[in-house]
Structure 1
Amino acid sequence: MCRFTCSKVLLIVFLGLAVVGCNSLSTSPDYLAQADSDRQNVVSWSEMDVGSETTYLNELVNSRDLDALIAEARAANPDLKQTLLSLDILRAQYRATQADQLPDVEAGLGANRTEDLDTAYTGTVSVSWELDLWSKISDEASAAAGDVAEQLALYQAARDTLAAEVIQGWLKLVNLNRSVAIETQRVELLEKNEQWILQRYRSGLGDLEDLDSAQSSAASARAALIAVQESLQQQQRVLNLLLGRSHGSTVIASSYPQVLLPLADLADQTLQRRPDLKAAYVAIEANDFRASLAYKEMLPSISLEAALSDTGTSPSEALLRNPVWSLLGQLTAPLFRGGELQANAEAAELTAAKSYQAYRETLLKAVQEVEDAIGQESSLAKQQQQIDSALLSARRNYQQYQQKYRNGLVSVLDLLEVQQQTFDLESQLNDLTYDRLSNRITLGLALGLGIKETGQS
Structure 2
Amino acid sequence: MSKKTSISALLTALLLDACSDTPERHSTDVGGSVPSHWSTASGPKGPVAEQWLGDFNDPALSRLVREALYGNYDLKAAAARVKAAREQSLIEGSARWPQLFFITDVNREKDFETAESGSFDALFNLSWELDVWGRIRAAQRAAEQEADATQADFDGARLSLAARTAQTYFELAEARQQADVAAQSIRDRQTIVELVRGRFARGLTRGLDLRLALTDLANAEAQLAQARNQAQNSTKQLELLLGRYPGGLLKENSNLPAPPAAIPAGLPSELLERRPDIIAAFARLRAMDYRVESAKKALLPRITLTANGGTSSPALTDLADPRAAAWNFALGLVQPLFTGGRLKGDIRLNEALTDEALNRYRGTALNAFREVEQALAAERWLREQEQALKEAVEQTEASRKLAVYSYRQGLIEILTLLDSYRSTLNAQSAYLTVRRQLLSNRINLYLALGGGI
* Partner residue, 1:455: none
For the pair 1:275 / 2:239, whether they are aligned, the reply is: no
- How far apart in 2 are the matches of 1:320 and 1:39? 69
Amino acid at match of 2:266: D
SS of match in other structure, 2:300: coil
- Which stretch of structure 1 is more off in the superposition, 295-304 or 119-128? 119-128
2:28 is the counterpart of 1:36: yes
Judge conservation of contact 1:283–1:355 (CA < 8 Å) in 2: yes
Q: Give the deviation of 1:45 after TM superposition.
A: 1.0
Please give the per-residue CA displacement for 1:192-212, whole angstroms capped at 9, x wherever unaligned. 111211111111111011011
The residue matched to 2:312 in structure 1 has which SS? strand
What residue number does 2:88 align with? 93
Q: What secondary structure does 1:79 align onto?
A: helix
> When the two structures are superposed, what TM-score results if normalisation uses the length of structure 1?
0.90
Q: What secondary structure is seen at the aligned counterpart in 2 of 1:331?
A: strand
Worse-matched range after superposition: 334-343 or 369-378:
334-343
The sequence identity of aligned pairs, in percent, is 26
- One-letter amino acid of the structure 2 residue matched with residue 377 of structure 1: E
- 1:47-104 alpha-carbon deviations (Å, 9 max, x no partner): 4333586222213222222221111111111111110111111112222222221111
Question: How many angstroms apart in 1 are the aligned matches of 2:146 and 2:82?
Answer: 9
**Is 1:50 aligned to residue 43 of structure 2?**
yes
* Alpha carbons of structure 1 residues 173 and 294: separation in structure 2 relative to 1, 3 Å: same
**2:372 is the alignment partner of 1:370:** yes
Offset at residue 431 of structure 1 (A): 0.5
Cα deviation per residue 1:350-377 (whole Å; 9 max; x = unaligned)?
1111111111111011011001101100
Indicate the larger mover: 285-294 or 261-270: 261-270
> Aligned ranges for residues 252-401 of structure 1 at < 5 Å?
252-322=253-323, 323-401=325-403
For 1:4, the equivalent position in structure 2 comes to none
Q: Distance in 2 between matches of 1:404 and 1:282?
A: 70
Q: Partners of 1:106 and 1:54 in 2: how far apart?
A: 54
CA contact (8 A) 1:277 1:359 kept: yes
Q: Is the 8 A contact 1:123 1:319 kept in 2?
A: no
Amino acid paired to 1:298: L
Maintained 8 Å contact 2:52/2:452: yes
Of 22, 27, 30, which aligns to 2:15?
Answer: 22
Q: Deviation of residue 252 (structure 1)? A: 2.2
After superposition, give the CA deviation of every residue in 1:117-175 in whole Å (9 maximum; x if it has no partner): 84343322333211101101101111111111001111000001100111111111111
> Which letter does structure 2 place at the counterpart of 1:82?
A
The equivalent of 2:68 in structure 1 is 73
Query: Please, which runs of 5 or more residues in structure 1 have no aligned partner?
Result: 1-10, 452-457
Give me the whole-angstrom Cα distance separating, in 1, the residues matched to 2:242 and 2:263. 25
- Name the counterpart of 1:448: 450
Post-superposition offset of 1:443: 0.4
SS of the residue corresponding to residue 441 of structure 2 reads helix
Structure 2 SS opposite 1:318: helix
- Cα distance in 1, alignment partners of residues 297 and 441 from structure 2: 50
> Which residue of structure 1 lines up, in the alignment, with residue 239 of structure 2?
240
Match of 1:133, SS state, is coil
Q: Provide the C-alpha distance between the structure 2 equivalents of 1:431 and 1:122, rounded to a whole number of angstroms.
A: 80
Q: 1:424 aligns with which of 423, 426, 439?
A: 426
Task: Give the superposition deviation at 1:312.
Answer: 1.8
Could you tell me how far 1:26 is from its partner in structure 2? 8.6
Retained in 2: the 8 A contact 1:57–1:164? no
**Counterpart secondary structure, 2:332:** strand
d(CA) in 2 for partners of 1:64, 1:128: 60
Between 148-157 and 265-274, report the one with greater CA deviation: 265-274
Q: CA 1:79 to 1:136, structure 2 compared with 1: closer, same or farther past 3 Å?
A: same
Q: CA deviation at 1:40?
A: 8.6
Find the residue that maps to 1:37 and give its secondary structure: coil
What residue in structure 2 maps to residue 5 of structure 1? Answer: none
Partner of 1:7: none
Alignment coverage as a number of residue pairs: 440
- Partners of 2:305 and 2:93 in 1: CA distance: 19
Structure 1 counterpart of 2:300, one-letter code: L
Alpha-carbon distance in 2 for matches of 1:411, 1:302: 99
2-side partners of 1:320 and 1:17: how far apart? 51
TM-score w.r.t. structure 2 length?
0.91
Q: Provide, for residues 405-435 of structure 1, a one-character-per-residue CA deviation record: whole Å limited to 9, x for no partner.
A: 1221110111111111111111111111110
CA distance in 2, matches of 1:18, 1:241: 61
Secondary structure at the residue paired with 1:303?
strand
Q: What is the distance in 2 between the residues matched to 1:421 and 1:20?
A: 81
Greater mean alpha carbon deviation, residues 246-255 or residues 270-279: 246-255
**1:138 maps to 2:140:** no
What's the secondary structure of 2:412's corresponding residue? coil
8 Å CA contact retained: 1:260, 1:440: no
- The structure-2 alpha-carbon separation of the partners of 1:271 and 1:377, relative to structure 1 and needing over 3 Å to count, comes to same
Q: Give the SS at the match of 2:327.
A: strand
Kindly state the Cα deviation for residue 20 of structure 1 after the two structures are TM-superposed.
Answer: 4.6
CA contact (8 A) 1:123 1:310 kept: yes
SS of 1:41's equivalent in the other structure is: coil
Question: Could you tell me how far apart the structure 2 residues matched to 1:211 and 1:267 are?
Answer: 62
Structure 2 unmatched ranges of 5 or more: none
- Check the 8 A contact 1:124/1:320 in 2, yes or no: no
Q: 1:39 to 1:440 in 2, by over 3 A?
A: farther
| Matched ranges for 1:130-169 at <5 A | 130-169=129-168
Aligned residue for 2:306, secondary structure, equals strand
